[in-house]
Structure 1
Amino acid sequence: MLDSTDTRLLAALQANAHLTAQELGEMLNLSPSQAGRRRQRLETEGYITGYAARLDPARLGLAVQGFVQVQLATHGPEQSKAFARLVRSRPEITSAWTMTGEADYLLRVYCTNLGALNTLIHDVLLSHPSVARVQSQIVMDQLKQDAPLPT
């Protein structure tokens, strides 16, 4: 069970994962050791699943961000497993969701250019035996960056 101090700690770490126990303690009106123990408990209990750096896609040469909807031709455990293996093997697919509605999957992709996106769609996704249809949307501008989860 999370209390208000836990939720404030989680919000602070989402904003800046580099906060020290001293800094967290000052923010939360706790001693550094209490803040450190709370952070460790939240990690152990799975509320905090890891820490990562946010990278700038443009600085890395990833000029095209897109969302790709994928509809499978047939639905079964083997087709789903095979498609999931493909998704996990492709670094340009940064996240993937199973969906309700017309599309079975929604993929978020980053590519260096339109040619690389075309290759991903035609040579990788559409050539997979389980895939029937692919529809892509290219991001023109991102109005809100990936935000912290509400706590």
Structure 2
Amino acid sequence: MLDDQDRRLLRYWQAEPSLSPGELAERCGMTPGRAARRLARMEEEGIVEGVGAVVNWPALGYAVEVSLRVTLDKTQGNAFDSFLEAARKVPEVIEVQTFLGRVDVRLSIIARDMAHYQQIYRSQILSLPHIADIEALMHVARIKSEQTLPL
């Protein structure tokens, strides 16, 4: 599992993902080679799944975010698989989560405005297979969105 040096590397990298391996190694008090080997091992083990850019959707003109809680018609044996396969193909669906309980799936949808959302909802969401019920929740504000772990 992770030792103190691994945790230190991850803490610094989470705080500043733009650090070069050399800068990261320096802050952690180890050689660049050792830091690189540890990071490569953590990637191979699936602890680190990659480094990416965080896109500011509103800056690109996507001002509306809606969360749809979907209950599926589970009388069909392949309801989950068919629904998830189709939902993944909708470009404006930025997140899909599955649950146990009354709600089966949650979709996060982004749109430029309410008219665009309505167009997505009517033409793409309502045509998804095996929907029994949908509840829409309009996103008002993101109070906390954290991807880092307390290491």
Q: After superposing the two structures, state which structure 1 stretch, 76-85 or 24-33, moved more.
A: 76-85
**Greater than 4 Å deviation, 4+ residue runs:** none
- CA-atom RMSD in angstroms: 1.6
Map of 1:62 onto structure 2? 62
Map of 2:143 onto structure 1? 143
Map of 1:7 onto structure 2? 7
State the Cα distance separating 1:146 from its structure 2 match.
Answer: 3.7
Map of 1:98 onto structure 2? 98
Letter of the 2:126 counterpart: L
Map of 1:39 onto structure 2? 39
**Structure 2: gaps spanning 5 or more residues:** none
How many residues align? The count is 151
Percent same amino acid at aligned positions? Answer: 29
**Alignment partner of 1:58: what SS?**
helix
TM-score (norm 1): 0.90
Letter of the 2:3 counterpart: D
**Alignment partner of 1:84: what SS?**
helix
**Alignment partner of 2:58: what SS?**
coil
Distance 1:146 1:57 in 2: 16
Q: After superposing the two structures, state which structure 1 stretch, 70-79 or 42-51, moved more.
A: 70-79
Letter of the 2:81 counterpart: K
Map of 2:79 onto structure 1? 79
- Contact in 1 for aligned 2:83/2:130 (Cα 8 Å): yes
Q: After superposing the two structures, state which structure 1 stretch, 73-82 or 50-59, moved more.
A: 73-82
Distance 2:112 2:11 in 1: 33
State the Cα distance separating 1:94 from its structure 2 match.
Answer: 1.0
